[in-house]
Amino acid sequence: MRRSMLFLPGNTPNMILSGDCLGADAIILDLEDAVAPDQKDAARVLVRNAIKYLQFPGVEKIIRINSLDTPYWKKDLDEMIPLKPELIMTPKTSCAADVLEFDAYMSELEDKLGYERNTVKLMPLIETALGVENAYAIASASKRVAAIFLGAEDLSADLRCKRTKEGKEILYARGRMVLAARAANVDVYDTPFTDVNDDEGIRVDAEFAKGLGFTGKASISPRHVAVINEVFSPTQKDIDYAYEVMEAIRIGKEQGKGAVSLHGKMIDAPIVARAQQTIDMAVALGLGKEA
Amino acid sequence: MENKIAKASCGTMESSDAYMELEPVAGATQIELQSVVEHQFGESIRALAAQMLAEEGIENVRLSIIDRGALECTLRARLETLIGRAREGGSAHA
C-alpha cells in the first residue's frame, strides 16, 4: 500500500526523525538534490544510521541516491543496500541501460551480503525527455523495477517549457508514464505539487493524476500527504459498489448465467477486475474484508 | 589505525542536530560539550564521543560538540562523518 511518498532531505535530522509520524505511506530519504555536494558524506551516514536505529515502523523507506553521472551513486548503494530499504530511487533514469547498470551493482552487493537478489527494489525516476520516450523500456528492464516515478521539474527544464500549476506541459508525459507502467505491470507515481500552501491545488492535481491511472503521488511537504492519501484511497461508495459487483457475480455463477447485470448495467471482466482492485485496497487500508 | 588527522568540522546548529569540530592538539584529548540537554545527557554524550574516538584510535585531539538535542543515532553519524573528514584531510568530502 503506497499512495503517498514524502521527500525528506537526507542531511536534516529534525525532518528525518519524524519520518514515521507524518502520515505518508513511504518516505523518500533524499541523498540527491536536497544535499549539497560537500555534504554527501554526512547525509549518507545520517540516513544509514536513521534507518539502522529508528527503522520507521509501518512506513516504507525509499532512498533517492545520486545519478549515474556523479561519483556518488556507488557509495550511496554501498551504504544503503546492507540495510535493505524497500526501494532505491534512481534519478535521471533515461534508458534501460541505466536501470541495468544500477541493477548489476545492486546484485553484486546483494551477493556479497548473502541477500537474495532483488531484495531491494528499484523505482526509476524519469525526468528527462529521453526517459519519458523510453518509459516502457525502463519499466520492463529488470524484475527489480517495482514502480516508475515522473519528475516534472527537471522534465520541464529538459522540454524547455515553463512548469505550471495546471500541468498542461506534462500531460503527454503523464499519460505515457501510466501506459508504460501498466504495460510493464509496475506501479506509477506522479510528480509532487510544489505549491506547499495551495491546499485546493494539491487536491485538484492529485485527483487529475488518479484519473489518469497513477498509483499515487509524491510530495515535498507533509501538508499534502493527507490529501494525497484521501484522493488515492477508495471512497466508501466505491467499496460498497465493489462488494455489490462481486456478490452479483457470485449469484450469477450460482444461477449459471453467462451475463450478469447490476443496477441495469452489464458487469464484464474489466468491471470485476476494478472491483477486485478496490476491495484489495480497502482490505489493505482496513476498510473492508476479503470478498 | 594511523592517528593522522587534520582539523575538520561537520553538522549544523539546527534543532535535533549537533555541530562538531575536531583538531589535533599537543596534549591529552579534550572533549568540550555545550548541550541543551547537558543536565540529563551530558555524561552519556561525552562517553559516546570518547568511545568512538578510542575505537578509531584517535588521541591528542580537541573535540568540540555543540549539541542541539541530537538523538544518539545522529550524534554517532556526525562523529563518524567528522572522523572520516579529519582522516581525509579535514574538508568536507563526498
- Identify the CATH number of the domain in which residue B66 sits: 3.30.230.10
Our count of domains for chain A comes to 2
Amino acid of residue B64:
S
Tell me the C-alpha distance between A189 and A4, whole Å.
Answer: 9
Q: Does B13 touch chain A (CB under 8 A)?
A: no
Q: Do A159 and A41 reside in the same domain of the chain?
A: yes
In chain A, what percentage of residues exceed pLDDT 90?
A: 85
Among the candidates A191, A211, A231, a domain finishes at A231
pLDDT, position A256:
84
B53, part of any domain: yes
Residues of B in contact with A45 (CB under 8 A): 77, 80-81, 84
A289, part of any domain: no
pLDDT, position A1:
77
Q: Do A131 and A244 reside in the same domain of the chain?
A: no
pLDDT, position B94:
52
Q: Do A221 and A244 reside in the same domain of the chain?
A: no
Q: Do A183 and A240 reside in the same domain of the chain?
A: no
Q: Do A165 and A249 reside in the same domain of the chain?
A: no
B20, part of any domain: yes
Domain that holds residue B47: 8-87
pLDDT, position B3:
60
Q: Do A160 and A79 reside in the same domain of the chain?
A: yes
Whether B81 sits inside 8 A of A75 (CB atoms) is no
A290, part of any domain: no
B3, part of any domain: no
pLDDT, position A119:
96
Residues of B in contact with A14 (CB under 8 A): 14-17
Q: Does A17 touch chain B (CB under 8 A)?
A: yes
Candidates B21, B48, B66, B74, partner chain A, best to mutate (most A CBs within 10 A):
B74
Q: In this structure, are residues B86 and B22 in contact, taking their beta carbons and an 8 Å threshold? A: yes
Tell me the C-alpha distance between B11 and A30, whole Å.
Answer: 17
Whether B11 sits inside 8 A of A42 (CB atoms) is yes
A28, part of any domain: yes
Q: Does A49 touch chain B (CB under 8 A)?
A: yes
Q: Does B90 touch chain A (CB under 8 A)?
A: no
**Residue in the block written with cell 519499466:** A139
Looking at residue A145, which CATH number applies to its domain?
3.20.20.60
**Residue in the block written with cell 556518488:** A72
Q: Do A260 and A154 reside in the same domain of the chain?
A: no
Whether B78 sits inside 8 A of A39 (CB atoms) is no
Say whether pLDDT at A58 is over 80: yes
Helices (H), chain A: 13-16, 40-54, 73-80, 96-113, 129-133, 135-139, 152-159, 171-184, 199-212, 225-231, 236-254, 269-284
B34, part of any domain: yes
B2, part of any domain: no
Say whether pLDDT at A14 is over 90: yes
Average pLDDT on A6-28 reads: 95
pLDDT, position A174:
98
Whether B81 sits inside 8 A of A37 (CB atoms) is no
Beta bridge partners, A6, equal: A27, A219
**Residue in the block written with cell 465493489:** A242
Q: How would you write the pLDDT of chain B (94 residues) with one tens digit per residue? A: 456 889 999 999 999 999 999 999 999 999 999 999 999 999 999 999 999 999 999 999 999 999 999 999 999 999 999 999 999 887 665 5
**What is the ipTM score, two decimals?**
0.93
Mean pLDDT of chain A: 94
Q: Do A102 and A82 reside in the same domain of the chain?
A: yes
Say whether pLDDT at A39 is over 60: yes
What is chain A's length? 291
pLDDT, position A244:
93
Our count of domains for chain B comes to 1
Q: Do A199 and A278 reside in the same domain of the chain?
A: no
Q: Do A13 and A133 reside in the same domain of the chain?
A: yes
**pLDDT tens digits, one per residue of A206-262:** 999 999 999 999 999 999 999 999 999 999 999 999 999 999 999 988 888 877 888
- Of A72, A133, A134, A129, which is closest to residue A98 (Cα–Cα)? A134
Measured between CA atoms, the residue of chain A closest to residue B93 is: A38
Q: Do A154 and A44 reside in the same domain of the chain?
A: yes
Q: Does B67 touch chain A (CB under 8 A)?
A: no
Q: Do A151 and A51 reside in the same domain of the chain?
A: yes
**Around Cβ A112, how many Cβ atoms within 10 Å?**
11
**Around Cβ A76, how many Cβ atoms within 10 Å?**
25
Say whether pLDDT at A113 is over 80: yes
Say whether pLDDT at A266 is over 90: no
Whether B84 sits inside 8 A of A41 (CB atoms) is yes
Say whether pLDDT at A68 is over 80: yes
Domain that holds residue A275: 236-284
Q: In this structure, are residues A239 and A25 in contact, taking their beta carbons and an 8 Å threshold? A: no
Residues of B in contact with A20 (CB under 8 A): none
